[in-house]
Amino acid sequence: AYQFANQSRLGIKIAHISNAYIANEDPGEDEVLLTYALPLSFGDHS
């Protein structure tokens, strides 16, 4: 993830999930996850 000056973050995750050929077919699944996180502040942190 990349952290911006305002402490927010933008990230990406790429993954492949497989059944490890425990069955005759293993088409697998490819995933792409894009995240954006905003920092939250609850109350006074002094």
Selected residue with higher pLDDT from 20 and 8: 8
Q: How many CA atoms lie within 13 A of 40 on its CB side?
A: 3
Contact of 26 with 19, CB cutoff 8 Å: yes
Residue 3 and residue 29: Cα distance in Å, rounded?
29
Look at residue 1 in the predicted model and tell me its pLDDT. 93
Confidence band for 45, pLDDT divided at 50, 70 and 90: low
pTM, 2 dp: 0.63
| pLDDT per position as a tens digit, 14-44 | 999 998 878 888 788 999 999 999 999 887 7
pLDDT of 46 higher than 70: no
Distances (CA, A) of 9 to 5, 15, 19, 38: 9, 20, 32, 7
Hey, which residues does 15 pair with through a beta bridge?
Answer: 31
